Structure 1
């Protein structure tokens, strides 16, 4: 891009950004951000940072939020007890009389639409309103509806906690005025709360889903609860969403579970609520937990002062913040000694500052200093300036954002599919309650009933109906044979094979919809991950541009202005079009010390992933060659991951964020044998070694190729690439 063209395009882009920010529609903002990203992508790495370019970068990193219906959002109306009597406009709870197999059984959404909303406070759990009642001076706080309105969590329950969990669910339903219980199917309505219950099971587990619609004058809350009980594991899924931009507060049921005694919740060594640590012996476990690849929820860490009014108040505030993030994150409060031990154990850029709350998002890479930017710090000044309610709402928003960026877990998707199939069968059985066999059985009893029938007199209405029937059918006498023939015709009005075909078609379509929804969730998660990666690359690019500008100024001051600002000739580097071409050039890398020992068929199996993944694979392999060359030249000492984070000038680069030096302990225990690949006997007498270190290539669809290698540079000066192919199984694989 020439300087003249770049300047002209930048002027147009800045005008477009200004118009979009001063009242543009969502579509105009999106288009402006797309154009800004395109401009930054084509910007030369040697381009110096300028105020105009910084403006574009800030605009790209600013999230787009839909316009709110109100300037701000009510997050905490006064807490009032929910009335439950006819005098308040609500109706007493009454179980519906429709049988489970009836096609007329309404869903909670349909039931809610049929009845007007009762006058009641906006408090879903018949107790605390969303985000607690703020003081009058802070009754409004703006919330991003795309990030904060949904509460979604999966809680694994230990076997010893099953009975407690079932009892807690039943009491939670009872607190909403519902007589519905786990183990009961049907529908129920009470005072603006509409519920339905469905069962399903597979070979190992039983699933019970309860769906609620809670109707208020200005908002509806929709809740899906799935309780899974199996021989191997039990879990609870809760998904709460609100119409519009209301904040979905933490359900009381979740708070009760996470605040229960130890041993109830499985899989989270520090729980899913508030945990106080005053034993420095627990710090090594905390460090391992923070850096675990299997951790999929955020962790908030704060140092709590001991004693004094300020310390006690901060502890109370921390407990209240943890209620906003319960079930979605782990909130850890450290005493002074534990906080000091944690700061000594972590790299400097990842430590929690004194008097602040630090967020540790999933996927922490302590070996990559650039990754520290993702894990934000809520400083002491901000917490002193804002109220406890605002701080809790902010942390709750962060936790909900992380929850929504993850796809729905595979086990939940499978349960939803089974339950939906059960509901479809129930609906179809209610729609076609009788079959030909059932009707024939009733017909066969007509003769037997006639033998025992007593003579009865018909009413005038019945006599008129019989006469009308004979006239319409063109018969003069209603004989036994005619009655049997008429009954048989009625029984055969719907062919059983047609009903079965319709059922099969509906169930298949339901399964297809579930598959599409699952793929949609995965793609959305991948898009979010790519956006996060792009933002990181933009930050790195800006930092590099500023570094280049600083070096250019120093060269100019040293009398080398021409060398400082001249443009280098573009280098036309080779990049394979696909993985087939990559295979053809693997031997070219051997002269750089990078030797491929894997199966070429695994490489060709991902050929459909396209140019981007193949090009990234080549860049990763060239970076390995650059690492070996830098060590040989004496320009670098260390391992591959350290090289990628501090690449010497003039050597091949590859994003450190797309490299993992090891697998998790859980993955290695479960699937470590899948990561053992061939090497020369001079490297290992067995002819194979475990290759944990790997590169992550561009995702394509639902797959993400990997490159696994062994660094034997300290033995023979080479790196052996044992695998290029699809993502190997990990402990989180569905």
Structure 2
């Protein structure tokens, strides 16, 4: 079972985490009666049947001498959507130096991997209920169940949250795009956008004055602006320009495509994708020491209690079996005790297992048999648990090996990229020096680009710039006509930032190529354009481009490369696109971007596919 959601809520010292958990879980279960929950109360530790497809396990950790209490409440529930396990860990440690009251909420599901689990798991309403009832924080940053509206004179709190080095949650800043009179509409949009981020992010909606005040306190690299929703990851480095890439921006074009004009709510798909990176970080990062220790104590107690219950059930089954013994078996016991070679060994066994004060009679032998059977059952249960632990270790070892391989690949690719950058810098320095020596130093000036050409932070934002209806200048020459869901799989794999930047470079190549061709400055195809230094325009390394596929690929898998186009391009509204761009980064996913050069006919390049590497002789 994969973890799809995790939240760590630090409550005020004056609030009992155990009391809060018991109260809110009971209330939460009452709200689930329509889903088949029939029992909503429990009494102490144990296993409780709540309904036909729901069980609750309650575990009490050993109470400490300092008055500390630790509790685990684990709800297992099945519905048509799958099997879900919601685990609530409550830690009440009154003598701790800090974080005396903590709740941890985990949700697991039967997804094939963590990405699928995160995408398919919504934060339980229990978390929103807790945050709406009790003050909670992450580091020094408040966590709330709803976005907080901020006026101009309250911006200090937002700046403090952004720069809070102790937080692990994200800070989402949503400046209003319109006048303050549209506050309710914008609040509704932001609330629906962040519904999947509850418990793992603090969200602030800024009015016009607050937006201006916050922008004045942030460097240009980390600036916030009207209508652009920015997610600040932990450990913000305002003095490092490159740190800006860690803090994603959701632009109005992307948001507008997902907003229902009547309800003012964002689509569930965008809300899920918007929360994914933050949710993944909470699941994959190392747990705080106090949380890790508390969870380990409770899970040990849970294993002990589960083993004891299984053994007890087995004992009860054995007792029933002995109660049904025939009189013949009793006679056999008596006969064994009267047989000289057996009498003394049997007496020794009875004394060893049942105690010195127990007579070696037929009843004692029956009890001895029950005890040995119970011990045998306990050993079988422990063996089963050991096998599960061994399997978990094997899975962890496989994950570690995969992580090491990925790290090695990334190190190699980073080295290649750095070598390429150093080579380019050396060539640039040489060319600049020659131009100065030739008296043409003024030609070395390169004007900064407009912000509108900045690379998007994820694939969804990239698609918004080139999809039909986009207002971006690039859409005039480059249009995406493919299946967006295939492209968005890249974001789900946690690679959105990296590949969005790469594919944006290729989109710009195609834009400048098309503009140059229409202006009569380019008369060759894309691949020749990339290799021609004398032709003006944005370019990438030719090795990143493939003008065609092999004959084998076209013969066997050409149908996979047939993508949608407008009717004015082809009456069947589909054509095969063999030309494609291929980013540097090598992994099993290896995304590609297939396109059709139709500049001579319609003045555009059509991108029919962005997504996982399609089948060829090497996949």
Is 1:393 the equivalent of 2:267?
Answer: no
**Alpha carbons of 1:542 and 1:256: their partners in 2 closer, same or farther (altered >3 Å)?**
farther
Aligned to 1:717: none
**Alpha carbons of 1:466 and 1:412: their partners in 2 closer, same or farther (altered >3 Å)?**
same
Aligned to 1:205: 68
Aligned to 2:327: 466
Aligned to 2:77: 214
Q: 1:220–1:242: 8 Å Cα contact kept in structure 2?
A: yes
**Alpha carbons of 1:257 and 1:181: their partners in 2 closer, same or farther (altered >3 Å)?**
same
TM-fit CA distance, 1:153? 1.0
Aligned to 2:238: 366
Aligned to 1:413: 292
Which runs of 5 or more residues in structure 1 are unaligned? 1-108, 110-145, 435-461, 561-734
Q: 2:86–2:106: 8 Å Cα contact kept in structure 1?
A: yes
Aligned to 2:302: 423
Aligned to 2:12: 158
Aligned to 2:363: 487
TM-fit CA distance, 1:521? 13
**Alpha carbons of 1:289 and 1:503: their partners in 2 closer, same or farther (altered >3 Å)?**
farther
**Alpha carbons of 1:307 and 1:248: their partners in 2 closer, same or farther (altered >3 Å)?**
same
Counterparts of 1:520 and 1:285 in 2: how far apart (Å)? 44
Aligned match of 2:431 in 539, 553, 562?
553
Q: 1:303–1:336: 8 Å Cα contact kept in structure 2?
A: yes
Counterparts of 2:43 and 2:13 in 1: how far apart (Å)? 18
Counterparts of 1:504 and 1:217 in 2: how far apart (Å)? 31
Q: 1:156–1:266: 8 Å Cα contact kept in structure 2?
A: yes
Q: 1:166–1:182: 8 Å Cα contact kept in structure 2?
A: no
Is 1:167 the equivalent of 2:167?
Answer: no
Counterparts of 1:470 and 1:211 in 2: how far apart (Å)? 49
TM-fit CA distance, 1:253? 0.7
Aligned to 1:382: 254
Q: 1:349–1:369: 8 Å Cα contact kept in structure 2?
A: yes
2:200 is paired with a residue whose SS is coil
**Alpha carbons of 1:515 and 1:328: their partners in 2 closer, same or farther (altered >3 Å)?**
same
Number of aligned residues = 386
Counterparts of 1:514 and 1:412 in 2: how far apart (Å)? 25
**Alpha carbons of 1:526 and 1:472: their partners in 2 closer, same or farther (altered >3 Å)?**
closer
**Alpha carbons of 1:525 and 1:422: their partners in 2 closer, same or farther (altered >3 Å)?**
farther
Counterparts of 2:252 and 2:361 in 1: how far apart (Å)? 87
The TM-score, its normalising length taken from structure 2, stands at: 0.52
| 1:207-231, Cα deviation, whole Å (9 max, x unpaired) | 2222222212352222222122232
| 1:477-520, Cα deviation, whole Å (9 max, x unpaired) | 9xxx9985223334445579989997999899799989979998
Counterparts of 2:206 and 2:361 in 1: how far apart (Å)? 84
TM-fit CA distance, 1:267? 4.3
**Alpha carbons of 1:536 and 1:250: their partners in 2 closer, same or farther (altered >3 Å)?**
farther
1:150 is paired with a residue whose SS is strand
Q: 2:9–2:199: 8 Å Cα contact kept in structure 1?
A: yes
**Alpha carbons of 1:178 and 1:520: their partners in 2 closer, same or farther (altered >3 Å)?**
farther
**Alpha carbons of 1:423 and 1:397: their partners in 2 closer, same or farther (altered >3 Å)?**
closer
Counterparts of 2:159 and 2:20 in 1: how far apart (Å)? 31
| 1:77-126, Cα deviation, whole Å (9 max, x unpaired) | xxxxxxxxxxxxxxxxxxxxxxxxxxxxxxxx9xxxxxxxxxxxxxxxxx
For residues 92-131 of structure 1, the aligned pairs below 5 Å read: none
Counterparts of 1:153 and 1:385 in 2: how far apart (Å)? 29
Counterparts of 1:307 and 1:197 in 2: how far apart (Å)? 51
Is 1:242 the equivalent of 2:120?
Answer: no
TM-fit CA distance, 1:358? 0.9
Q: 2:200–2:278: 8 Å Cα contact kept in structure 1?
A: yes
TM-fit CA distance, 1:472? 7.1
Q: 1:255–1:323: 8 Å Cα contact kept in structure 2?
A: no
Q: 1:407–1:522: 8 Å Cα contact kept in structure 2?
A: no
